[in-house]
Amino acid sequence: MNISIYLKLGVAVICLFDLGCAPVYNTTTSVAKDSKSRKAKESKVHSGGKSEIKVFLGEVSDAELIGNNLKAENGNSEVGKGIVRIVNGNVSIGGKEVSALSYPIEISASNDIIAFNGKSYRGKFLLHKLSSSKIQIINKLNIEDYLRGVVPCELRVGEVEALKAQAVIARSFALSKIKGGKYDLKATVEDQVYNGIEAEIKRTDKAIKETRGIVCTYRGEVIDARYSSTCGGRTQDGDKPYLESRVCQFCKFSPHYRWKSEHLLSDFGKVRSIRIYKKDKSGRVDMIKIVSNKGTQEIRGTTFRAKFGLKSRFCDIRMKGNKIQVTGKGYGHGIGLCQYGAVGMARKGYKYKSILKYYYKRIKVEKIY
Ligand SMILES: [Zn+2]
């Protein structure tokens, strides 16, 4: 089976295979059932899942939008019709330059598909003129359509229940980001990688459709559904009650379950000793002490991991001459859902709700539209 799993490392993301991926974090959206919270919910999840999301695609000076019968509007007034070109930070529609007073403009195509920078996107485009002589390009579309361009970038496996779990997480994250600003999230690893129509595949489309409107909640709020590639046997605590460390025996087949690497210590001077002196509850490195001709340095586990590009800080170290040998477990931060673990659970017959409830404690899996 062809497994492609992308992993999340906090804000920075490393992609194992050919596509991008993104972390999911800081997600809280009210979905409580009381009337006050219901109002808040409805403001985010408009009219039965017809919620639109605004995805920032980039800032450009020169570009072209391609689509069938393109039309530009500002509010209810038509700005122009025809080919949309951006030249030196100015937009022209049907050969006529858009007046500075007309921004932002909304571009729509008769078939709801617009191409930009070699990629096709569903929905509409919003163009804002920036003082930097650039045009900000935003794709505005239904959240369920958005997920079709996201989930395949996050997890590409054959296990249907793992894909459904991934769809629920990506949806929760996206919903929590709708705050009414110029845009809600970026199409990159900073939020969730979104590659438009080209990314869409049948099996992730199906997983999205079959979980339509379903999110994870904790005490009536959409959860901060963080996840990473391979926990290596145990996830770690996050800063939320439902992000609690737990044993995972489902990711043993991951190529990152156990690993070894070797690194030169030259950046730290003439090193006499290096040792881990603090680990967290899950066994991940918190602090390292290095004694060298430069004195004693204490570095954080996260800094240590970044410095040597380690797959995780779930590791042990041994000094050998001017090198350290690292033996490690897992890939990614290890908080929340373990993606290889989710695949392992699906292989054992677990359904997506059980998978989500295994990695996020005391949550509910609810359909909110
Ligand atoms: Zn795991």
pLDDT digits (tens, 9 = 90+) for 47-84: 345 589 999 999 999 999 999 999 999 988 999 999 99
CA-closest candidate to residue 12, choices 31, 28, 3, 25: 25
Question: Residue 331: its pLDDT value, please?
Answer: 96
The Å distance, Cα 334 to ligand 1 centre, comes to 8
Residue 8 structure tokens: 């999340």
The Å distance, Cα 356 to ligand 1 centre, comes to 13
The Å distance, Cα 236 to ligand 1 centre, comes to 10
The Å distance, Cα 6 to ligand 1 centre, comes to 14
The Å distance, Cα 338 to ligand 1 centre, comes to 5
Residue that has been written with the tokens 């100015």 in this structure:
90
The Å distance, Cα 192 to ligand 1 centre, comes to 21
CA-closest candidate to residue 353, choices 335, 365, 341: 365
Distances (CA, A) of 336 to 25, 222, 225, 297: 10, 14, 7, 31
Q: 196, 121 in Cβ contact below 8 A?
A: yes
The Å distance, Cα 159 to ligand 1 centre, comes to 16
pLDDT tens per residue, range 221-270: 888 888 889 999 999 999 999 999 999 999 999 999 999 999 998 888 89
In this model, does residue 277 exceed pLDDT 60?
yes
Would you place residue 108 in the very low, low, confident or very high pLDDT band (cuts 50, 70, 90)? very high
The Å distance, Cα 322 to ligand 1 centre, comes to 33
Question: Residue 25: its pLDDT value, please?
Answer: 24
Question: Residue 107: its pLDDT value, please?
Answer: 97
The Å distance, Cα 341 to ligand 1 centre, comes to 4
Q: Cα 104 to chain center, whole Å?
A: 27
Q: Give the separation between CA 365 and CA 215, rounded to whole angstroms.
A: 6
Beta strand 105-108 pairing with 71-74: antiparallel
The Å distance, Cα 133 to ligand 1 centre, comes to 47
The Å distance, Cα 285 to ligand 1 centre, comes to 17
The Å distance, Cα 164 to ligand 1 centre, comes to 17
Question: Residue 103: its pLDDT value, please?
Answer: 93
Count CB atoms within 10 A of the CB of residue 281.
11
Residue 191 structure tokens: 């939020």
The Å distance, Cα 15 to ligand 1 centre, comes to 18
The Å distance, Cα 58 to ligand 1 centre, comes to 35
The Å distance, Cα 240 to ligand 1 centre, comes to 19
pTM given for the model: 0.81
Question: Residue 4: its pLDDT value, please?
Answer: 42
Q: Cα 361 to chain center, whole Å?
A: 21
What is the Rg, in whole angstroms, of the alpha carbon atoms belonging to the chain?
23
pLDDT tens per residue, range 282-318: 999 999 999 999 899 999 999 999 999 999 999 999 9
The Å distance, Cα 303 to ligand 1 centre, comes to 23
The Å distance, Cα 234 to ligand 1 centre, comes to 6
pLDDT tens per residue, range 124-145: 999 999 988 899 999 999 999 9
| CA 211, 216, 222, 227 torsion-angle sign | negative
SS3 16: coil
Distances (CA, A) of 344 to 8, 251, 263, 303: 18, 6, 32, 31
The Å distance, Cα 230 to ligand 1 centre, comes to 5
Average pLDDT over residues 328-345: 96
Domain boundaries, the chain: 1-51+144-256+333-369, 62-133, 258-329
The Å distance, Cα 115 to ligand 1 centre, comes to 39
The Å distance, Cα 3 to ligand 1 centre, comes to 15
The Å distance, Cα 89 to ligand 1 centre, comes to 48
Helix (H), strand (E), coil (C) string for 199-235: HCCHHHHHHHHHCCCEEEEECCEECCCCEECECCCEC
Phi, psi of 321 (to 5 degrees): 65, -125
The Å distance, Cα 246 to ligand 1 centre, comes to 9
Residue 204 structure tokens: 């992730």
Q: Give the separation between CA 193 and CA 198, rounded to whole angstroms.
A: 13
Distance between start and end Cα atoms, the chain: 34
The Å distance, Cα 340 to ligand 1 centre, comes to 6
pLDDT tens per residue, range 1-51: 333 443 333 323 333 322 233 332 222 233 333 334 444 443 343 334 558
pLDDT tens per residue, range 164-181: 999 999 999 898 788 889
In this model, does residue 90 exceed pLDDT 70?
yes
Q: 341, 233 in Cβ contact below 8 A?
A: no
Question: Residue 50: its pLDDT value, please?
Answer: 53
Q: Give the separation between CA 228 and CA 7, rounded to whole angstroms.
A: 5
CA-closest candidate to residue 137, choices 225, 33, 25, 54: 54
Residue 146 structure tokens: 């958005």
